[in-house]
Structure 1
Amino acid sequence: MSKSGARILVVDDEIEILRALQRSLAAHGFEVFTASNGEDALEAITHYRPDLMLLDLGLPGISGLEVTKRVREQSNLPIIVLSVKDAERDKVQALDLGADDYVPKPFGIDEVLARIRVALRHTAQVQAGTEPIFTVGPLKVDFAQRLVQVKGQEVKLTPTEYDLLKALIKNRGKIMTRHMLLSQVWGTGYGTESHYLHVYIGQLRRKIEPDTTHPRFILTISGVGYRFSSDDD
């Protein structure tokens, strides 16, 4: 699979949005399939085997949240949620259920294309296997040695700080909700302990960010969680 020619399933019950996305994505070299409800979306996934799905949450019948849940139970298909700005709870729930990213409505095609590129790149990296050494700008992480360096100098991280950084890097480009990070790093019993995460994110930034007032790597997604951003994201 490559970014150009990737198969995209667009699911939205607003026909104007559906057609606009279909035309724009096709013009950029993607093979596009569409569905206007949850049932058709699930059938299309089985039939067309898309590389990525753009999914509206407010679908008739089977909801977008339920579609996300069912898809994630069976595959790692990248899912980018299309959400209205006031649907904050649904957006966070979709990410917790396994959606990879979200684009708020109304949106521009350039923003959608950027999110698609990040999601497809992340999928390709996962399929290729985890690299033993990750480097971006002044930051270098050797996963085999559990070694972190900034500008060639070793940075001492606590085990929890390292596990948090690793979780963010392994999911770079993807929004990680607070619940997801807490559950992965601290355990399922800590899923609501947001203060732990806030403290450790602050500590990590002080150790790896060139400028903590303008984070380059660990970005805050307001009201949702965090995203690790590489230079090419």
Structure 2
Amino acid sequence: MPRVLVVDDEPQIRTVLRGYLEADGYEVAEVADGAAALAALRADPADLVLLDVMMPGIDGLEVLRQLRTFSDAYVILVTARAEEVDKLIGLAVGADDYITKPFSPREVAARVRAVLRRDRAVRAGDDAPLVFEGLSIDRLGREIGVNGSTVMLSSLEFDLLAALAAAPGRVFSRVQLLEQVWGYEFYGDERVVDVHVRSLRARLGDDAADPHLIATVRGVGYKFIGRPA
């Protein structure tokens, strides 16, 4: 049974979301602040975190930054700030999706289902390791090695890299990547792909100006250009 952690300083929001998610069959835990969230996730990892951005003390973005040092759990940011830059910052830090307040609890439940269904779809595919010069992708263990060192990726970054690397040389449009990695129920726009590719390149040490792993195909999308080992 997938486990979801709801992090929000408003008790009413936590109660409503917990009710909808438990009705969908998820195990749900809840905490009221960022420090409690980090402690809870270290003690009992979650599959997905619904994370409020605006909280007293440690805010949601800082929680996300720290979380990404030890966990690849899916994270959906819940924010009252509608500015596009805030959403893109959250995605660049390692969020998988975002929801803007006020929101419908049904929409939140639908987003959670879509994200967790994506994980099942990826794991149901070919599990054989992918090995290239300077890069190894263990799809079964969901581990990435770069020049012999383990690199921590978010679940979505891992899925994005695995999708590209499974078909070297194939050009994927942003829409195709949204469909294959994010799933048909993704609610955002195509720019989210660019944000995650930038983050992925940074973690892999791949220079966008002179890439050796992920190349941009101008006006179309991206392709994997890593050389087989």
Q: Which residue of 2 aligns with 1:112?
A: 108
TM-score, length basis structure 2: 0.62
Instruction: Indicate the percent of aligned positions where both proteins have the same amino acid.
Output: 34
- How many angstroms apart in 1 are the aligned matches of 2:69 and 2:63? 10
Q: Given residue 180 of structure 1, which amino acid in structure 2 is its aligned partner?
A: H
Matched, 1:178 2:198: no
- Are 2:11 and 1:15 aligned? yes
**Structure 1 residues 116, 197: closer, same or farther in 2, change over 3 A?**
farther
- Which sections of structure 1, spanning at least 5 residues, go unmatched? 133-140, 147-158, 191-195, 205-233
1:69 aligns with 2:65: yes
Deviates more, 1:16-25 or 1:120-129: 120-129
Q: What is the root-mean-square deviation in Å for CA atoms of aligned residues?
A: 3.5
Distance in 1 (CA, whole Å) between partners of 2:171 and 2:87 is: 27
**Matches of 2:19 and 2:38 in 1, distance apart?**
22
Is the Cα contact below 8 Å between 1:55 and 1:82 reproduced in 2?
yes
Match of 1:48 in 2: 44
In 2, Cα distance between the equivalents of 1:145 and 1:80?
28
Aligned residues between the structures: 174
Q: Which amino acid aligns with 2:89?
A: Q
In 2, are the aligned partners of 1:167 and 1:184 still within 8 Å (CA)? no
Q: Is the deviation greater in 73-82 or in 17-26?
A: 17-26
Gaps of 5+ in 2: 129-162, 210-215, 224-229
Q: Who is 1:91 aligned against?
A: 87
> Structure 1 CA distance, aligned partners of 2:8 and 2:172?
40
Higher relative contact order (Cα pairs below 8 Å, separated by 6+ residues): 2
SS in 1 for 2:90: helix
The change in CA–CA distance for 1:170 and 1:188 in structure 2 (over 3 A counts) is farther
Shift of 1:170: 5.4
TM-superposed CA distance for 1:34, in Å, is: 0.7
Q: 1:72 to 1:125 in 2, by over 3 A?
A: farther
